[in-house]
Amino acid sequence: MMTNLSPSPTRTPVDNPLLAPWDTPHAAPPFGAIRPEHFAPAFAAAFAEHRGEIEGVAGQAAAPTFDNTVAALERAGRTLARVSSAFFCLVGAHSNPAILALEREIVPRLTAHWDAIHMNQALFARIAAIKDAPSGGARALDAEQARVLDRYFTTFRRAGAGLDAAARGRLAEIGERLAALGTQFSQRVLADEQGWTLPLEAEEDLAGLPEHLRAAARAAAQECGLASPAVVTLSRSSVEPFLAFSRRRDLREKAFRAWIARGEGGASDNTGIIAETVRLRTEKAKLLGYPTWADYRLDDAMAKTPAAARALLAKVWAPARTRALAERDAMQEMIRAEGGNFALASWDWRYFAEKLRQERCDLKEGEIEPYLQLDRMITAAFETARRLFGITATPRRDVPVWHPDVRTWEIQAADGRHLGLFFGDYFARPSKRSGAWMSTLREQEKLDTEVRPLVFNVMNFAKGADGGPALLSHDDARTLFHEFGHALHALLSDVTYPLISGTGVATDFVELPSQLYEQWLDTPEILKTFAVHCRTGEPMPDALIAKLKAARTFNQGFATVEYVASAIVDLDYHALTTAEDLDPAAFERAALDRIGMPEEIVMRHRSPHFSHVFAGDHYSAAYYSYMWSEVLDADAFKAFQETGNVFDRATAERLHRHIYSAGGSRTPDEAYAAFRGRLPTEDALLQRRGLADAAG
Ligand SMILES: [Zn+2]
């Protein structure tokens, strides 16, 4: 396998578009010219270049200074950064068997590469010497430099640089194995998602589905190249609305069972991967001096300890569970009143919740979607950013993209300054992973010259039918705002050092800019202008906006229980001090029994497809982060509400300065306090979810 990564002697780097200079607009990756076979030699060259640079920094004779060590490390690895970012863009958004095969090979090598750097003894000694030197080395450091130095020291320490050779060797082995397991995990989930569709052959199979969902199901069948006239896929934007609207209880059950069994059983079974992953993480934590993986992970998060994360979840769990049980009883009563002779099952929840929502909030079936046209919602997200931060977005058609559906905009500051390029990849397709995410093809920095970022959003929306506009559910529109909030965190970034650029912040802080941004979607200022009916052109009526607002706390018991259960199970796995012979299915069941999980609700992400936690380390023991960040974003939005203007200039200016443009230049606590004048409280969160009274 290794030989694949050696540069071919017959191919000089200039023949490889990944290694040649990018003379595209704003030096964006030349996707049109990049082929899968370019990646292996490009990675080989990039690894070699970076290793050479690292050896130069570590082995130099000069006494360690911030400039010759930390800044030099920040300047290193630029080829690797650009090759990796183009590669992982394709892995997630537009893969093929060649890319996925290479991913299985590259990810462990990448982990080994970075582990070798972070455990490099000579480098660690230099960094420690600068840190220990009075006033930060040869010259006093500015605040950002001090922060970057601290992050380097922490990263090296947490990678095991301070341990003996035997421990470092074992950590390197574990790291490579974990990387391979994470890739396998996500590839198996993808295989299960690609391998299953529910054909809707006849009119009776479509019973209950509003027109926009029928259209989406037809478009999905076309997209997958299937003979059926319409299909439901296991993409969340396809299966969730089907569960909410289909009158066919048997088909709901079929779709639901397939959805929650992704990664479980059959050729794509992830059970063994979960067991081995948890065991290796536990071993790694112990080698690093922590009792559990959760202790290790959270030591470097805003929460700091698993106990702090659990305390927040516990505070929310009890009132949410009570609320969910009441929601269940109301739906059971509805079933009884309709003459139904069955107990509410998990595949019934969304269906009866939707009926109950329509009844209680006086919302008609499919009443909202025709107002939420994708293009209008994209413009709404841009307009929100213009009103808050003064930026504008102009379409660009001259930038290479990785798929014809991808759209590009140039983002400019109020004074016309170029801030970056934004790529939007909105539609589901078989070559794309499920879910929604933001990432970058290049990050902002200004270490030597000003480098502006290339930022992208990926979603899985259904295409409009028969050339009509793509229509979003309210949840889809929130997702669009959420991911654009992350994108702004990268686009507005204004720091010197790449390490702390944009979203380079703690995992339980990184959802603040995204979740906060969702709040503007539901403001009358935005809805009245951009939520325009796709056929009549009428803006969303005030009465509907009011109903939408009232419906916000509807079914929040369910939504909160579904989420918190996943967050607790994640923390439970990673609270193990020993994880031999772990049986994930039994472990998950026991963890849910302990918290009294209502039988009719399934975790938002069951273990076998819990990609946040098992497709890599990033959100492991950190799925609670969304709730943690929600405490921050609910409290932060209140800062605007308190002024009586959700676009208040002074508040927006502080938000821009201390959060959206600040990257990781300060600790999360410092950054938040600088914006708000104090640390957050949980009141706004409980209020928003309608749980304040139940919390007591
Ligand atoms: Zn997010």
pLDDT in tens, 197-230: 999 999 999 999 988 889 889 988 988 888 899 9
Share of the chain above pLDDT 70, in %: 96
User: Ligand 1 centre and the CA of 45: distance in Å?
Assistant: 33
Q: Which helix H or strand E contains 312, and what residues bound it?
A: helix 306-337
Tokens standing for residue 387: 């009103």
Give one word for 467, left, alpha or beta, with left for phi > 0 and alpha for psi -120 to 50: left
Angle at 673 between CA 672 and CA 675, to 5 degrees: 65
Q: Which two tokens stand for residue 131?
A: 């840190």
Q: Are strands 418-427 and 454-461 parallel, antiparallel or unpaired?
A: parallel
**Structure letter (DSSP) for residue 471:** B
Taking the centre of ligand 1 as the mean of its atom positions, its distance from the CA of residue 126, in whole angstroms, is: 36
**3-class SS at 576?**
coil
Report d(CA 3, CA 568) in Å as an integer. Answer: 43
| Contacting residues for 658 by C-beta, under 8 A, at least 6 apart | 671, 672, 674, 675
| Interval between CA 486 and ligand 1 midpoint (Å) | 7
The more confident residue out of 38 and 552 is 38
Q: Is the pLDDT of residue 280 over 90?
A: yes
Ligand 1 centroid, distance to 487 Cα (angstroms): 10
Greatest CA separation found in the chain? 84
Whether pLDDT at 7 is above 60 = no
Q: What is the pLDDT of residues 140-185, one digit of tens each?
A: 899 999 999 999 999 999 999 999 999 999 999 999 999 999 999 9
* Cβ atoms within 10 Å, residue 121: 13
Sign of CA dihedral 548, 553, 559, 560: positive
User: Token pair for residue 427?
Assistant: 């539609």
Phi, psi of 445 (to 5 degrees): -170, 165
For position 693, what pLDDT does the model report?
A: 66
CA dist 678 and 187 (Å) reads 43
What CA–CA distance (Å, rounded) separates 1 from 126?
A: 35
- Contact of 186 with 615, CB cutoff 8 Å: yes
Of 644, 640, 647, nearest to 389 by C-alpha is: 647
Lowest mean pLDDT among 125-129, 224-228, 392-396: 224-228
State the Cα–Cα distance between residues 156 and 153, nearest whole angstrom.
5
Query: How far is the C-alpha of 595 from the C-alpha of 565, rounded, in Å?
Result: 8
Q: Which residues contact 634 (CB under 8 A, 6 or more apart)?
A: 684, 685, 687, 688
* pLDDT at res. 358: 86
Over 80: is that where the pLDDT of 75 sits? yes
Q: How many CB atoms lie within 10 A of CB 118?
A: 21
Catalytic, out of 74, 483, 562, 588: 483
Residue that the structure tokens 């950190």 belong to? 622
Strand ranges in 143-249 using DSSP code E only, listed in sequence order: 197-199, 231-233
Q: Is the dihedral of CA 413, 417, 420, 421 positive or negative?
A: positive
- Give the 3-state DSSP-derived string for 252-265, with helices as H, strands as E and coil as C: HHHHHHHHHCCCCC
CA 478 to centroid of ligand 1, rounded, Å? 11
Do the beta carbons of residue 606 and residue 291 sit within 8 Å? no
Please state the length of the chain: 696
CA 100/CA 28 separation, integer angstroms: 23
Question: Residue 211: its pLDDT value, please?
Answer: 86
- Please state, in angstroms and rounded to a whole number, the distance separating the CA atoms of residues 390 and 686: 32
**β-strands 392-396, 407-412 pairing:** antiparallel
- Residue 223: per-residue pLDDT: 81
Mean pLDDT of the region 530-550: 92
Indicate whether 3 pLDDT > 60.
no
Cα 507 to ligand 1 centre (Å): 10
pLDDT, tens only, 601-624: 999 999 999 999 999 998 999 999
Torsion angles phi and psi, residue 323, rounded to 5: -65, -45
Rounded Cα distance, 438 and 424, in Å: 9
Query: Residue 139 above 60 pLDDT?
Result: no
Asked if 440 and 454 count as a contact pair (C-beta separation under 8 A), the reply is yes
How many angstroms separate the alpha carbon of residue 228 from the centre of ligand 1? 35
Q: Which residues have CB under 8 Å from 424's CB, separation 6+?
A: 378, 406, 407, 408, 409, 456, 457
Report the pLDDT value the prediction gives residue 694, as an integer from 0 to 100.
53
367 flagged as catalytic:
no
3-class secondary structure per residue, 6-23: CCCCCCCHHHCCCCCCCC
Average pLDDT of every residue of the chain: 93
Nearest to 283 by CA among 695, 579, 629, 646: 579
pLDDT in tens, 433-485: 888 999 999 999 999 999 999 999 999 998 887 778 999 989 899 999 999 99
Q: Please name the amino acid found at residue 492.
A: L
Q: How far is the CA of 257 from the centre of ligand 1 (A)?
A: 27
Rounded-to-integer distance, Cα 280 and Cα 338, Å: 52
The mean pLDDT value for 236-265 works out to: 95
Tokens of 236: 């969340």
What is the residue-wise DSSP string for 582-609? --HHHHHHHHHHHHT--TT---SS-GGG
How far apart CA 250 and CA 247 sit, in angstroms, is 9
The per-residue pLDDT for 677 is 96
> CA 251, 256, 258: angle at the middle one, nearest 5?
100
365-380 pLDDT, tens digit per residue, is 678 989 999 999 999 9
Name the pLDDT band for 692 (thresholds 50, 70, 90): confident
Take residue 668 and report the two structure tokens written for it.
């999360």
Q: Which DSSP symbol is given to 499?
A: G
Range 275-280 average pLDDT:
98
From 521, 492, 547, 476, select the one nearest 646 (Cα to Cα): 521
Q: Model's pTM, two decimal places?
A: 0.90
Chain centroid offset of residue 694 CA:
30
Q: What mean pLDDT is predicted for residues 526-537?
A: 94
| Confidence band for 134, pLDDT divided at 50, 70 and 90 | low
Give the C-alpha separation, 47 to 277, whole Å: 26
Helix or strand holding residue 421 (H, E)? strand 418-427
Distance 515 CA to ligand 1 centre (A): 7
Taking the centre of ligand 1 as the mean of its atom positions, its distance from the CA of residue 344, in whole angstroms, is: 32
Distance 386 CA to ligand 1 centre (A): 21
Residue 144 tokens read as 């950002």
* Pairwise pLDDT comparison (533 vs 551), residue with the higher score: 533
What is the predicted pLDDT for the residue at 29? 98
CB 447 within 8 A of CB 395: no
The yes-or-no verdict on residue 687 having pLDDT over 90 is no
Distance 202 CA to ligand 1 centre (A): 38
| Residue 4 pLDDT greater than 90, yes or no | no
Q: What is the pLDDT of residues 313-341, one digit of tens each?
A: 999 999 999 999 999 999 999 999 999 99
Contact 125, 153 (CB under 8 A): no
Find the 679 Cα to ligand 1 centroid distance in Å: 21
